[in-house]
Amino acid sequence: MNLVQHNAVYNMLSLGIASMLFTSLFLWIARDRVLPKFRMAVMVSATVTSIAAYHYFRMFDSFKEAYPVGGTVDAGFAGYNVGYRYVDWLLTVPLLLVELVAVMGLARAMQKSLLTRLVPAAAAMIILGYPGDMHTDLWGIPNVGWAILSTIPFLYILYVIFIEIGKSLAAQSERVQRLLKGARLLLLATWGVYPITFAISLGQGTAAPSFDAVVAREIGYSIADILAKCAFGLIIFTVARIKSAEENKEFAATEFKD
């Protein structure tokens, strides 16, 4: 890997660490700026970015060791552990959906019904995607096969978020509706980056992905992660702030000017 390629990934992973770490610190401390009933959503957001911060430290070290300047493609492929990303997503993606549902403040039965479907679907999506990114044609199924299998729960999650959760949006204030629709679009846009990134090295089968493919993959996954976890978490926090102000005039008076 040459110096420019190496530094591009190196800096992107360091940006990932810093974004995750300090969004976490901010959210953990800022949770008392919302009413108690919305703190769980903020704390789950903080947990998501904290889990990701840990995995970005791991990925950063793994990358530095596997892809030194001047190293070969095969050595990097064998040494870099892409599994950190999937372990991270296995924990954080279901929690991102918990955040989204928690901040909406739905009735308990509705909340339970959504989560008992969204959480397993999210886990299935991640677990089925991993063999495709390992480039080993696990159980004789090629990368593209795993990609298709993983897309099924992905489409189901989109259906639930856009159609079923969409119906509950009507009960929210106009400002909250606008923000939640923005959050939903952010999820769609960033979750859409993962399959595109995934597809870059899809055609290479069990061969080691080229350096260019590795650089594109790491940059794509990192940008998507920062938007889907940090930006999404901060939107959830903002929704919680607005709903706190809407529900409690006294809280609004001490926290907000208008």
In the bound state with a copy of itself, the residue whose beta carbon lies nearer, of 133 and 183, is: 133
Q: Is 197 in the site for a copy of itself (CB under 8 A)?
A: no
**Smallest gap from residue 188 Cβ to a copy of itself (A):** 22
- Among 7-15, 140-148, 191-199, 200-208, the segment contacting a copy of itself (CB under 8 A): 7-15
Interaction of residue 258 with a copy of itself, rule CB under 8 A? yes
Instruction: Kindly state whether residue 5 participates in binding a copy of itself, applying the rule CB under 8 A.
Output: no
Q: How far is it, in rounded angstroms, from Cα 84 to Cα 15? A: 17
Binding mask 51-90 toward a copy of itself (x if CB under 8 A, else -) reads x--xx--x----------x--------x--x-xx-xxx-x
Which parts of 92-111 interact with a copy of itself (CB under 8 A)?
105, 107-108
Nearer to a copy of itself, 33 or 181 (CB): 33
When asked if residue 15 is in the footprint of a copy of itself (CB under 8 A), the reply is: yes
| Contact present, 153 and 216 (Cβ < 8 Å) | no
* Nearest distance in Å: CB 155, a copy of itself: 26
Q: How far is the CB of 47 from a copy of itself (least distance, A)?
A: 5
List residues binding a copy of itself (CB under 8 A).
Answer: 3-4, 7, 10-11, 14-15, 17-19, 21-22, 25-26, 28-31, 33, 35-37, 39-40, 43, 47, 50-51, 54-55, 58, 69, 78, 81, 83-84, 86-88, 90-91, 105, 107-108, 134, 136, 138, 254-258
